Amino acid sequence: MIRILFLFIVFFTIELFGRSDVEAINLSLQSLQSEESLLETAVLDNTLDRYRGTISPLYKRYQSTTDELERVKAKFADAGIPPFFALIPYAESKFNPSSHGYGTAGLWQFTKQSARNFGLSVTKKNDERLNIDRSTEAAIRYIKYLKNEFGNWYLADFAYAMGEGTLRRMIQKNGSDKMSVLLKDPHFPSGAKAHFAKTLLLDAKIHYSKKDEEIRGE
């Protein structure tokens, strides 16, 4: 019975995403140090399916910002951080350096305090959250700090999206830091789920999709 259920999940997932899409998503998950694949994480299937429709406009935005993104990706590569993280601005601000949210601003949607904590000047005359290079350098410092605090890359991204305190409480409550366990928690913030799903789908499409490699002639 368990084997039949597993085969059904495998078949359903492949039908839902397509075989090459599953491979691309798994490669993205591996880059984040996840020990769980898409086929082993049914809750992630459901989460990704919910946000698949948002990827087309984000991908179009990516295609129109490749020059700016290359600047960001180069800094992340120099810092030894997976390319997944260079795509966070598409989920956070649609890669708009002038974007303002509720108390946040810039590509990376830093709050004033977080920006200052990681070396940015935030004044009426000079808000470095709106500077692509300076804000990206601060994001790199923050993400490296989160990786050091939580031990792997996918947890660093969860913490970026929901806040360190929230993630620590969730890990403590569930007695686990596994992706499948945390995503099942009903109190996992919806905004953090959207952030992770959009970035993961975009990362898989841009960096690991065979179709995209064929289009680029790679």
Cβ-contact 170, 182 below 8 angstroms: yes
pLDDT at residue 216 is higher than 50: no
N-to-C CA span, the chain: 42
Average pLDDT over residues 126-130: 97
Query: 45 or 118: whose pLDDT is higher?
Result: 118
- pLDDT per position as a tens digit, 66-103: 999 999 999 999 999 999 999 999 999 999 999 999 99
Q: Supply the pLDDT for residue 14.
A: 41
Q: Supply the pLDDT for residue 211.
A: 55
User: Given 1.10.3720.10, 3.30.70.1400, 3.40.50.300, 1.10.530.10, which CATH number is that of 2-209?
Assistant: 1.10.530.10
Cβ-contact 117, 137 below 8 angstroms: no
Average pLDDT over residues 20-49: 90
- Evaluated on CA atoms 117, 75, 60, 56, the torsion sign reads negative
Query: Phi and psi at residue 103, in whole multiples of 5°?
Result: 80, 10
Query: 212 or 155: whose pLDDT is higher?
Result: 155
The whole-angstrom separation of Cα 127 and Cα 120 is 8
Q: What does the domain layout of the chain look like in residue ranges?
A: 2-209
The whole-angstrom separation of Cα 110 and Cα 58 is 20
- pLDDT per position as a tens digit, 2-28: 444 443 444 444 444 444 789 999 999
Cβ-contact 83, 92 below 8 angstroms: no
The whole-angstrom separation of Cα 187 and Cα 146 is 21
The whole-angstrom separation of Cα 202 and Cα 206 is 6
Give the chain's mean pLDDT: 89
Reduced to 3 states, what is the DSSP secondary structure of residue 103?
coil
State if pTM tops 0.85: yes
